[in-house]
Amino acid sequence: MPKAIVVGGGYAGVSAATALAEAGVTVDLLESRGFLGGRVYSTAPSDPFPAPVDNGPHLLMGCYQETLRLFERLGEKEPLRWIDPLRLSWLVPGGGKVALHCLSLPAPLHLATGLLFSDAFPPGEKLRMVTALRTFAKRPFRIVPGLATVEDLLDATGQGPVSRERFWGPLTRAVMNLPPQTASLEGLGEVLHRVFFAKRSDSALGVTAKPLSEIGFPKTADYLSARGGQVHLHEGVKSFDRDGRVPKVTTQSGKDLTGDVLVWAVPPATLSALWPKETWLFADHAGELGRSPIVSVHVLLKEPLLQGHLLGLSGARFEWVFNRNENWGWKGSGPLRGAQYLSFTASAAEDLARSKDPELVSLALQELAQRLPTGEELKVCHSKVTREMAATFAWTPAAGPLRPPCETPIPGVFLAGDWTDTALPATIEGACSSGHQAARKVLDSLGMGTLP
């Protein structure tokens, strides 16, 4: 039975490892930390904050087919709470609330009619929104030559201030983790095409039904073990080479592992540090992909204030707030009985990432209070700030050509990761897609056909 080594236990590595195991390959999955998940994980309740905490709230979409395939493989039942048809609501300064509710119609009519009846955008801006969105209705995309960033498209199609504030800006930052001024138009366009122009259900929002570390990752070790493989935690890689005709890695603890194939599912800086210098242009320039942070503020409020799974905060720096009482069914106990658990998130948060925790908590609460009808002071029982400083690579127009393919110049060695050339931004779907692509390439190299 062939053997594979997969280095990196995030979504890309777990997708590759479990897909290979499903196809009959024995897999050793190596992870440098003491848990799987990569940049997508949760921490346990503690005295300072007596509830589980995601390192950042995540939304999935109905079009996340590769992610859903992974969940199904690992036997995850109902890991998401679906909002279908798509519904979004924003709180506005002064206590108002506006919404975009799509209808149960075929795509893209569901979005067009939703925009028509929405009170979130002025009538004059709605037609311009449709015009811009139609750019990505069919491949090849009808992008005017010279337009490279999202901001270029917004300017060229005359997008108004309200649609930029409530739709284009938050969407770009959530999907690309960059502001429209620097985000690649190609990247956002691919997402818009998949979300709005195939099936209505592709635009459904999926909110995680439990903390991130509890979805899929706890089942990975048993899944691989049942198929002859193993998860190795606290086993970062020190070096790698080819032992004869097979790849060999040496771990930080001194173990030597060999396999018929090797899949690197690590961040670009890690690959660049370990890859033999000046042997592959993509590896030499991997560090130039940059990084962009996400900052989240988590609070437990004495009294419930919000309903629904999530709300947008129009014009705020913390653009989205997730209601964990609804998302996870979280219920406080003891002195926290009846409390509300809210998680605020700010993507493309370079301007916030180095602020002090009290400043970030104060800003998030202030932005929420300004948009509540009462404007009353919020009674906070506990708060916590999480920062993911390298949450994603920075897909600017200049960075796009630097994304490497799955194949490498070394036979039997492949790459996976949301930063590789998946055509998608650095999302969970991009990571899972890259892992499954690596598994397909591995199986082809081993003459084992394709994925089941």
CATH code for residues 102-200: 1.10.3110
Give the pLDDT score at 17: 98
For residues 400 and 138, what is the distance between their CA atoms, to the nearest angstrom? Answer: 21
356: phi then psi, degrees, rounded to nearest 5:
-75, 155
Which residue, among 40, 2, 6, 1, has the nearest Cα to 436 in the 3D structure? 6
CATH 3.90.180.10 fits 3-40+212-289+396-445, yes or no: no
The per-residue DSSP string of 331-375 comes to ---GGGTT-EEEEEEESS-TTTTTS-HHHHHHHHHHHHHTTSSS-
> CA distances (Å), 243 to each of 177, 249, 250, 316, 408, in order?
40, 9, 11, 55, 17
DSSP reduced 3-state for 295:
strand
Could you tell me the two tokens for 254?
Answer: 């001194």
Give the pLDDT score at 449: 82
Side chain identity, residue 277: K
pTM of the model: 0.96
Q: What is the pLDDT of residues 352-362, one digit of tens each?
A: 999 999 999 99
Number of alpha carbons in the 13 Å side-chain half-sphere of residue 339: 23
What stretches in the chain show pLDDT beneath 70? Answer: 243-244, 375-376
For residues 232 and 229, what is the distance between their CA atoms, to the nearest angstrom? Answer: 10
Give the pLDDT score at 243: 66
Give the pLDDT score at 374: 79
Could you tell me the two tokens for 100?
Answer: 């975009």
The domain spans of the chain are 3-40+212-289+396-445, 102-200, 292-392
Give the pLDDT score at 277: 87
CATH 3.20.20.100 fits 292-392, yes or no: no
Fold match between 102-200 and 292-392?
no
Nearest-10 Cα torsion for 88, 89, 90, 96 = 160
Q: What is the pLDDT of residues 269-299, one digit of tens each?
A: 999 999 988 889 999 999 899 999 999 999 9
